[in-house]
Amino acid sequence: MNEYGILIAALIGCLLSGGLGYLLLPVLRALKAGQSIREIGPTWHNNKAGTPMMGGLMFIGAVVICMLVSIPFVEDYTGFYVVGLALCFGLVGFLDDFFKLKYKRNLGLTSLQKALLQMAVSAIYLYLMYKTENLTNYLYIPFVENPIKIHILLYIFISMFIMVGCVNAVNLTDGIDGLCGSVTVPVMIFFAVAAVARQRWDLALLPAALAGALVAYLFYNWHPAKVFMGDTGSLFLGGMVCALAFALDMPMILLLVGLVYIIETMSVILQVGYFKISHGKRIFKMAPIHHHFEMSGWKEEAIVLVFTAVTTVMCIIAWFGI
Kindly report whether the peptide bond that precedes residue 224 is cis, defined as omega within 30 degrees of 0: yes
Q: Measured between alpha carbons, how far is 90 from 27 in angstroms, rounded to an integer?
A: 20
Q: Which residues of the chain have pLDDT under 70?
A: 1-2, 32-46, 103-108
Are 63 and 206 in contact, with CB atoms under 8 Å apart?
yes
> Could you say which DSSP state residue 151 is in?
-
Q: What is the pLDDT of residues 167-177, one digit of tens each?
A: 999 999 998 99
Spatial neighbors of 29 by CB under 8 A, at least 6 apart, are 52
Give the chain's end-to-end CA distance (angstroms, integer): 23
**pLDDT per position as a tens digit, 258-267:** 999 999 999 9
The alpha-carbon radius of gyration of the chain (Å, integer) is: 19
Contact (Cβ atoms closer than 8 angstroms) between residue 194 and residue 319: yes
| Exposed / middle / buried, residue 98 (Cβ in 10 Å: 0-12, 13-18, 19+) | middle
pTM comes to: 0.93
Which of 201, 168, 129, 118 minimizes the C-alpha distance to 268? 168
Rounded Cα gap, residues 217 and 247, in angstroms: 25
As a residue count, the chain comes to 322
Q: So what's the pLDDT on residue 162?
A: 93
pLDDT at res. 106 = 61
Domain boundaries, the chain: 3-256
